[in-house]
């Protein structure tokens, strides 16, 4: 986790020092990963921009029973006390505990009902909208969290911004899942970044860049080898709600979001990935035509005072000084559930 953060920071600083002014972010065939790293990726590009990402869960009878049991079991427990029970601290940090996370206004919940009280959408009960609380020291704790502050919080509040949304373009191919969708929505909605989607079915029209489960959390069912076939399935467990649907509660997987530019594959692209990046950059920054739709850039863009100018001194590469992260297998089941790492297997 610290290595992921350091590599991105090193890349941005090195690109700035080299005089690079445009950046292509390639998220093709990205199945996701640790959720908070999607937030960190966004905040490294926009460190002074407060991200807006809220989610909710279906309030089924089972979910209510679990959240009530976990929340009640932690009554009076102080996870920040020296020598606190390790397993209980991990349980405390779970979303299933009403005392964690923040509401859609980024304020703490004040009771179980405040977080898990039912909100009815289309005759179905859901929880209140909730967001990660990256100011919580448990998330940055090396023992119970990621071992590093998310950019924009704690000791990473004053990170330098190197580029504006006009300097970015994101590449998709339709396969972007879980954490990839979280980062994508942050870049699109909060960062106003544009995107190029490659390929797609052989039919005319625009295409969605993010076209898989498009939610913050999913569970993968890994099937055993069968005599006749092998397969797997994915089901959503946590809905991501974009700003325009906070009132009606429509999850983002039911909201069509088309990339600003669609390009078809060409033979050179299949032989060299750099050809994909070049084509996306030409359409994003130089006005080259897209097969469908197109990216319009402002003729003059006022750069924020937060954005660094000039090349500056050669950066010190932080990633070279960090050791490899410990194996995720050493983390508890609660930790993996919180950060969306553990993918349970259901055998047939």
* Mean pLDDT, the chain, whole residue set: 85
pTM: 0.83
93 and 216, same structural domain? no
Top pLDDT among 194 and 202 is at 194
Do 76 and 111 lie in a common domain? yes
How far is Cα 161 from Cα 291, in angstroms, rounded to an integer?
33
Q: Is 230 part of any domain?
A: no
Q: Is 76 helix (H, G, I), strand (E, B) or coil?
A: coil
Runs of H (alpha helix) within the chain: 2-17, 35-45, 61-73, 86-92, 112-116, 137-140, 179-185, 267-271, 273-285, 333-338
In a domain? residue 312: no
135 pLDDT more than 90:
yes
The predicted pLDDT at position 79 comes to: 95
In a domain, 347, yes or no: no
The 3-state DSSP class for residue 60 equals coil
Specify whether 201 is located in the same domain as 258: yes
Residue at which a domain ends, from 264, 283, 298: 298
Number of helices (H) and strands (E) in the chain: give both, helices first. Answer: 10, 10
Kindly state whether residues 175 and 288 are assigned to the same domain: yes
Q: Could you tell me what percent of the chain has a pLDDT over 90?
A: 60
178 with 294, same domain: the answer is: yes
Which tens digit of pLDDT belongs to each residue from 25-56?
999 999 888 888 999 999 999 999 999 889 99
What is the C-alpha to C-alpha distance for residues 346 and 348, in angstroms, rounded to an integer?
7
The predicted structure's pLDDT at residue 201? 87
d(CA 313, CA 196): 33
Instruction: Show the tokens assigned to 18.
Output: 């080299």
Asked if 192 and 71 sit in the same domain, the reply is no
Strands 217-222, 292-293: pairing is unpaired
User: Terminus-to-terminus CA distance in the chain, angstroms?
Assistant: 34
pLDDT digits (tens, 9 = 90+) for 111-131: 999 999 999 998 999 999 999
**Of 100-109, 158-167, 316-325, where does the model show the most confidence?**
100-109
Confidence of residue 69 (pLDDT cuts 50, 70, 90): very high
Question: Is 75 within a domain?
Answer: yes
Same domain, 100 and 243: no
90/176 same-domain check: no
- Phi/psi for 335 (5° steps) reads -60, -45
Position 325 scores a pLDDT of 54
Distance CA(324)–CA(285), nearest Å, equals: 37
Q: Is residue 46 located within the same domain as residue 64?
A: no
Question: Looking at the 3D structure of the chain, how many domains does it have?
Answer: 2
Q: State the pLDDT at residue 177.
A: 86
Q: Give yes or no for a contact between 347 and 26, defined as CB atoms under 8 angstroms apart.
A: no
**313 assigned to some structural domain:** no
3-state secondary structure of 241: strand
Mean pLDDT of 57-84: 95
Q: Domain residues for 66?
A: 54-130
Domain annotation covers residue 169: yes
Q: How far is CA 237 from the centre of its chain?
A: 16
* Among candidate residues 115, 130, 145, the one where a domain is terminated: 130
Residue 237: pLDDT over 80:
no
Q: For position 274, which CATH number holds? A: 3.90.226
The string of pLDDT tens digits covering residues 312-327 is: 667 666 666 665 555 5
Question: Does the pLDDT at position 214 exceed 60?
Answer: no
* Domain assignment present for 247: yes
Same domain for 44 and 174, yes or no, is: yes
Instruction: Assess if residue 121 is contained within a domain.
Output: yes
**pLDDT over 90 (residue 147):** no
**Statement to judge: residues 242 and 292 lie in one domain:** yes
Three-state SS annotation for 161-227 = ECCCHHHEEEEECECECCHHHHHHHHHHHHCCCEEEEECCCCCCCCCECECCCCCCEEEEEECCCCC
Q: How confident is the model at residue 178 (pLDDT cuts 50, 70, 90)?
A: confident
Q: Assess whether 89 and 182 both reside in one domain.
A: no
Residue 288 has pLDDT above 80, yes or no: yes
């Amino acid at each position: 986790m610290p290595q992921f953060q350091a590599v991105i920071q090193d890349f941005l600083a090195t690109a700035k020092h080299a005089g690079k002014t445009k950046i292509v972010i390639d998220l093709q065939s990205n199945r996701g990963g640790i959720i908070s790293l999607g937030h960190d990726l966004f905040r490294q590009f926009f460190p002074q921009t407060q991200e807006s990402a809220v989610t909710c869960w279906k309030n089924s009878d089972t979910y209510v029973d679990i959240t009530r049991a976990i929340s009640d079991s932690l009554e009076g427990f102080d996870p920040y006390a020296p020598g606190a029970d390790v397993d209980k601290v991990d349980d405390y940090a779970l979303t299933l505990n009403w005392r964690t996370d923040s509401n859609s206004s980024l304020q703490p919940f004040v009771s179980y009902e405040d977080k898990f009280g039912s909100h009815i959408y289309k005759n179905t009960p859901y929880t209140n909208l909730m967001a990660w609380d990256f100011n919580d020291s448990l998330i940055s704790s090396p023992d119970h969290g990621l071992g590093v502050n998310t950019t924009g919080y704690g000791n990473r509040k004053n990170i330098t911004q190197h580029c504006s949304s006009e300097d970015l373009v994101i590449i998709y191919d339709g396969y972007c899942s879980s954490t990839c969708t979280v980062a994508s929505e942050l870049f699109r909605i909060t960062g106003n970044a544009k995107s190029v989607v490659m390929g797609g079915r052989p039919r005319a029209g625009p295409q969605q860049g993010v076209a898989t489960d498009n939610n913050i959390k999913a569970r993968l069912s890994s099937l055993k080898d069968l005599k006749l076939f092998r397969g797997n399935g994915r089901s959503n467990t946590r809905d991501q709600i974009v700003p325009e649907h906070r009132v009606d509660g429509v999850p983002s997987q039911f909201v069509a979001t088309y990339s600003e530019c669609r390009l078809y594959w060409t033979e050179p692209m299949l032989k060299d990935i750099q050809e994909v990046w070049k084509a996306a950059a030409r359409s994003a920054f130089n006005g080259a035509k897209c097969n469908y739709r197109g990216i319009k850039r402002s003729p003059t863009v006022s750069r924020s005072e937060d954005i660094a100018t000039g090349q500056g001194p050669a950066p010190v590469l932080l990633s070279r000084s960090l050791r490899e992260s410990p194996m995720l297998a050493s983390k508890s089941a609660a930790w993996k559930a919180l950060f969306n790492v553990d993918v349970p297997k259901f055998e047939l």
